[in-house]
Amino acid sequence: MSQFRSYVFVILIGVSTLLKAQDAPLRFKAGIGLATYYGDLKEKAKLVDQSSLAINLGLTYDLTEQILGTFDFSVMSLKANDKFNTRIDYINRNLNFKTTLWEANLGVEYDFLNMTSGDYILTPYLHMGVGLFHYNPWTYDRSGNKVYLRQFGTEGQGLPSYPERKAYNLLQMQIPIGGGIKFAISEDVNAFFDISFRKIFTDYIDDVGNTYPDRDIMLAESPNPIQTIGLTYRRYPVHLTQE
Tens of pLDDT, residue by residue over 20-40, are 765 678 999 999 999 999 988
Residue 175 has pLDDT above 50, yes or no: yes
Residue 54 has pLDDT above 80, yes or no: yes
Report if residue 55 sits inside a domain: yes
Report if residue 240 sits inside a domain: no
Report if residue 243 sits inside a domain: no
For 88-116, give one letter per residue: b (16+ CB within 10 A) or e. Answer: eebeebbbbbbbebebebebebebebebe
Report if residue 241 sits inside a domain: no
Report if residue 62 sits inside a domain: yes
Expressed as residue numbers, the domain containing 64 is 7-232
Give pTM, 2 decimals. 0.89
> What band does 155 get if pLDDT is binned at 50, 70 and 90?
very high
Residue 133 has pLDDT above 90, yes or no: yes
pLDDT of amino acid 241: 43
CA distances from 165 to 66, 158, 176 (A): 46, 7, 28
The strand pairing partners of 77, in sequence order, are: 100
Domain count, the chain: 1
Q: Which residue, 2, 84, 70, is CA-closest to 36?
A: 84
> pLDDT digit string (tens) for 76-85?
999 999 988 8
H or E element in which residue 228 lies: helix 225-232
